[in-house]
Amino acid sequence: MVEVPFYRSEETEELATPAEYVTAVREGYRQRGEGAPAEPRTALTRDDPPGMLTGYLAILPETGAMGGYTYAAGFGDGDAHFMLPVYDAESGRPLAVFDGAHLNPRKTGATGAVGVDALARADASTVGLFGSGIQARGQLRATATVRDLDQVAVYSPTADHRETFAADMNAELDATVAAVASPAAAVEGADIVITATKSGEPVFDGDRLEPGTHVTAMGQYHPEKREVDARTVERATYVPDLRARIEQDAGAFILAREAGAVDDDHVHAELGDVVAGTAEGRTSDEEITLFDSGGTAIETVAAAHMLYEKAADRDLGESISFAPASEAMD
């Protein structure tokens, strides 16, 4: 039998800072840029009851960990449930199992911040943020660790939501965070534009992006849905988290390609290539860059292993037993 710790959300949700998540995720993407295996999500859906069962996997050899999410969203419960197993990349033995929901906005925010750090101008200090939910909070908290932010303009369709978000984050961050009444106001003057919404349609006009802007789009992973329009994709140096997503669920790129705005050669590099230095990132202050983040097991495994090491130091978790196949199949 193999004894493995099971970590509940309440045990690990405060174990690491946004900066520590960013460090772990950056390291994961560096390994990906140097050849670490990872694949996009596999998603199975039902219409009655409506829901999605999905999962994705990655191996991070230098971290010494592998694994990924499996989660169900929707269905009759109308909620989402995340399970996250982590294995040792050398022995194949399980290292830990997480109740993984709490980790999601933190690792996703860290991924966005790694994209900002790799692609935004070094002096970027203003953010236009679309969305006012937990994912938007995760993006902003993490981005604030990689750039010295001065002003944040947040837009979401519901005035109460964006105003509450602005008040909360204004008290938390050094930057001035203000709610704005239109998408155009969020984009105007922004060095960094972040979309963290559930919208299946573009949330701003790509012609309004100013030269030198970096865009992180992280709210969609569906071939027929997108947060940014074809004009944004066309104008930008396009960097996805995984290149394979452009044939599967990177709706912004897929729909821009269908419209004739771009072709396959428009994909500049994966984020890992830029982080590892095997591909250039930004080459000028006037360049528009776009990081299309649909979520991968790279950041999931990197963040989970970081939490595993922290939790082990504190003797957290409840031990559960797994029988190896050599025993269970005897």
pLDDT at residue 55, as a whole number? 94
Q: What percent of the chain has pLDDT over 90?
A: 89
Q: How confident is the model at residue 237 (pLDDT cuts 50, 70, 90)?
A: very high
Q: Are the C-beta atoms of residues 239 and 119 closer than 8 Å to each other? A: yes
Residue 100: the pLDDT is: 86
Q: What is the pLDDT of residue 208?
A: 97
What's the pLDDT tens digit per position in 105-123? 999 999 999 999 999 999 9
Output the pTM of the full model.
Answer: 0.95
CA-closest candidate to residue 227, choices 200, 254, 208, 253: 200
Which sign does the torsion angle of CA 311, 79, 204, 230 carry? positive
Is the separation of the CB atoms in 254 and 236 below 8 Å?
no
pLDDT digit string, tens, across residues 141-187: 999 999 999 999 999 999 999 999 999 999 999 999 999 999 999 99
Distance CA 326, CA 89 (A): 19
For the chain, helix (H) and strand (E) counts, in that order, are 11, 16
Q: Encode pLDDT of 239-273 as tens digits.
A: 999 999 999 999 999 999 999 999 999 999 999 99
What is the C-alpha to C-alpha distance for residues 289 and 295, in angstroms, rounded to an integer? 18
Which pLDDT score is estimated for 223? 84
pLDDT at 36 over 90: yes
In this predicted model, what pLDDT tens digit does every residue of 132-145 receive, in sequence order? 999 999 999 999 99
Strand-strand pairing, 94-99 and 79-88: antiparallel
Return mean pLDDT, the chain.
95
User: 70-74 and 79-88: which strand pairing?
Assistant: antiparallel
Query: Are the C-beta atoms of 270 and 217 separated by less than 8 Å?
Result: no
pLDDT-wise least confident of 93-97, 249-253, 300-304, 321-325:
321-325
Which pLDDT value is given to residue 326?
Answer: 87
Q: Which domains occur in the chain, in start order? A: 2-104+297-324 (3.30.1780.10), 120-292 (3.40.50.720)
> Distance (Å, rounded) from C-alpha 94 to C-alpha 260?
46
pLDDT (tens digit per residue) in 67-91:
999 999 999 988 999 999 999 999 9
Cis peptide before 49 (omega within 30 of 0): yes
Per-residue pLDDT of 272-308, as tens digits, reads 999 999 999 999 999 999 999 999 999 999 999 999 9
- Return the pLDDT at 220: 80
The pLDDT score that the predictor gives to residue 227 is 94
Whether residue 330 is predicted with pLDDT greater than 90 in this model: the reply is no
Q: What is the pLDDT of residues 187-197, one digit of tens each?
A: 999 999 999 99
Tokens of 130: 């679309």
Q: What is the pLDDT of residue 101?
A: 87
Within 10 angstroms of residue 227's Cβ, the number of other Cβ atoms is 27
Which of the four pLDDT bands, split at 50, 70 and 90, describes residue 15? very high
| β pairing state of 289-292 and 237-240 | parallel
